[in-house]
Amino acid sequence: MAGIDKLIINSAYREPEHHWKYDMNGQTFVQEPGRRPAGYFIAGQGTNQYNDIGKFIELDLVNKIRPRVKAWRENGYPGVTGVTKKLLEHWNDKDARQYQFFFCQLDAMETLIWLVEAPAAEKVGIDIPSDGGAFRRICTKLCTGGGKTTVMAMLIAWMVCNKATYPQDK
């Protein structure tokens, strides 16, 4: 099996430009352009446990939302409240803090905001399944070390700042 000469091929601070994809037939890794599709693997049932990586299951909803959030970001976050706009500008300001946020942290936060504040026209065809409870439940996922606690703090700041500024807004 051919090895990977450079494992890290993207900056943690920018959207991924490439990803490694495993080629089962050649039993090699191939560098592919673009962001890796969201998904997960189900363990394989093959007899050779070392070569059977399992079956990749794409998360269609996530892969449908990602390009919409990216376009919304590139268009300046249309539809957001004034408070949200200021927070997004602050979070994206690399000079505002000693350590800038990882791309995955900002992307997670932007996705959560997009789900709530983006114009309805941006979300046509996006149906977030409900558990039937009293509260709308949405989630985001980050890898180990991706900064989930930071995203939770950003989420709380966004919610509190908006509620304090717009107390009648749901």
**pLDDT digits over 54-105, tens only?**
788 999 999 999 999 999 999 999 999 999 999 999 999 999 989 999 999 9
* Contact assessment for residue 19 and residue 4, using Cβ atoms and an 8 Å cutoff: no
Q: Which tokens is 79 given?
A: 């539809």
Indicate the domain borders of the chain. Answer: 18-58, 60-165
Q: Which tokens is 95 given?
A: 């000079």
Indicate the pTM of the whole model: 0.87
* Contact assessment for residue 106 and residue 155, using Cβ atoms and an 8 Å cutoff: no
What is the residue-averaged pLDDT of the chain? Answer: 89
Alpha carbon distance 127, 130 (integer Å):
9
Alpha carbon distance 101, 107 (integer Å):
10
Q: Which tokens is 109 given?
A: 């936060």
102 Cβ neighbours under 8 A, 6+ residues apart: 12, 13, 146, 147
